[in-house]
A and B are shown apart, each in its own frame.
Chain A
Amino acid sequence: MNWRALIRHETFLALLLVLVLVVLSFQSDRFFTVANLLNQGRLMTEIGLIAIAMTFVIATGGIDLSVGSILGLVAILLGVFWQNVGMPLPMAMAAAIAAGTFAGFLNGFIITRFRVPPLIATLATLALYRGLAEGISQARSVRGYPDWFYVLGQGEVLGVPTQLWILFAAAVIASVILAYTRWGRTVYAIGSNEVASRFSGLPVETTKLALYTASGFAASLAAVIFVSRVSTTRSDMGTGIELDAITAVVLGGTSIFGGRGTIIGTIIGLCLIQALKNGLSLAGVKGDGTIMLIGAVLILAILVSNIFERSGSR
Chain B
Amino acid sequence: MGRIVLSAILALSFSTSLSHAQSSWTGGDDLPTNPLACDGTAAAAASVPYDGGQPTNAPDRNGKTITVVDVPKLVGIGYFNATSKGIADAAAEMGTMDAKTDGPSRANIDDQITLIDNYITSGVDGILFAANDPVAISPVLKKALAAGINVVGYDANSEPDARQWFVNQAEFNGIAKSMIDALAAEIGEDGAFAIVTSTFTTPNQARWIAEMEAYQAECYPNMKWLETVEAQEDNILSFNQANTLINKYGDEMKGILGMTSVATPAAADAVTQAGQCGNVAVVGLATPNAMKPYVASDCVKSVVLWNPVDLGYAAAYVLRAVADGTLEPGATSVEAGKLGELQVINGSEILLGAPFVFTKDNINDFDF
Contacts and interface: CB of A to CB of B under 8 A. Distances in A.
A305 interface: no
Interface string B181-208: 0000000000000000001110000100
Given A102-B6, A154-B139, A282-B118, A230 B17 contact: no
A137 B29 CA distance: 12
Interface stretch (B108-116, B264-272, B356-364): B108-116
A99 interface: yes
A99 B10 CA distance: 7
Given A98-B6, A137-B17, A232 B133 contact: yes
B135 interface: yes
Interface string B1-41: 00101110110111011001100010101100000000000
B123 interface: yes
A136 interface: yes
A185 interface: no
B13 A240 contact: no
B117 interface: yes
A81 B17 CA distance: 10
Interface string A225-236: 010011110111
A230 B115 contact: no
Given A84-B16, A235-B201, A287-B104, A140 B114 contact: no
Nearest to B107: A236
A28 B118 CA distance: 12
A78 B281 CA distance: 42
Given A84-B17, A136-B13, A282 B139 contact: no
Nearest to B206: A139
* Top 10 A-B pairs, shortest CB-CB distance: A139-B200, A138-B21, A232-B135, A230-B136, A281-B118, A136-B17, A102-B6, A282-B122, A286-B102, A143-B135
Given A99-B13, A230-B109, A236-B199, A28 B122 contact: yes
Contacts of B7: 102
Given A80-B17, A139-B27, A232-B133, A39 B121 contact: yes
Interface in B92-133: 100, 102-106, 108-111, 113-115, 117-119, 121-123, 133
Given A236-B199, A287-B75, A278 B109 contact: no
A236 B122 contact: no
Contacts of B206: 139
Given A232-B135, A277-B114, A138 B6 contact: no
A288 interface: yes
A240 B20 contact: no
Given A134-B200, A226-B110, A287-B104, 7 more contacts: A39-B117, A84-B20, A85-B16, A102-B10, A230-B136, A230-B139, A234-B133
A231 B138 contact: yes
Interface string A267-309: 0000000000110011010111001000000000000000000
A59 interface: no
Nearest to B19: A84
Interface residues of B, number: 47
Q: Which of B17, B20, B113, B123 counts the most A-chain CB atoms under 10 A from its CB?
A: B17
B201 A234 contact: yes
Contacts of A239: 108
B201 A141 contact: yes
Given A286-B102, A288-B105, A43 B17 contact: no
Interface of A: 28, 30-31, 36, 39, 43, 77, 80-81, 84-85, 95, 98-99, 102, 105, 134-141, 143, 154, 226, 229-232, 234-237, 239-240, 277-278, 281-282, 284, 286-288, 291
A239 B133 CA distance: 15
Interface of B: 3, 5-7, 9-10, 12-14, 16-17, 20-21, 25, 27, 29-30, 75, 100, 102-106, 108-111, 113-115, 117-119, 121-123, 133, 135-139, 199-201, 206
A77 B117 contact: no
Contacts of A291: 105
A273 to B, nearest CB: 11
A140 B133 CA distance: 12
A284 to B, nearest CB: 8
Given A234-B133, A234-B201, A30 B122 contact: yes
Contact of B29 (A135, A139, A231, A284): A139
28 contacts: A39-B121, A43-B113, A77-B13, A80-B13, A85-B12, A95-B9, A99-B6, A99-B9, A102-B3, A102-B7, A136-B13, A138-B200, A139-B29, A139-B201, A140-B30, A141-B135, A143-B135, A230-B135, A230-B136, A231-B139, A232-B136, A234-B136, A235-B201, A237-B110, A277-B114, A277-B118, A282-B121, A287-B102
B80 to A, nearest CB: 13
B13 A234 contact: no
B66 to A, nearest CB: 16
Contacts of A98: 5-6, 9
A102 B8 CA distance: 11
Contacts of B12: 85
Contacts of B5: 98
A235 B136 CA distance: 13
A240 B21 contact: no
Contacts of A288: 75, 105
A152 to B, nearest CB: 13
Nearest to A102: B6
Contact of B114 (A36, A43, A134, A234): A43
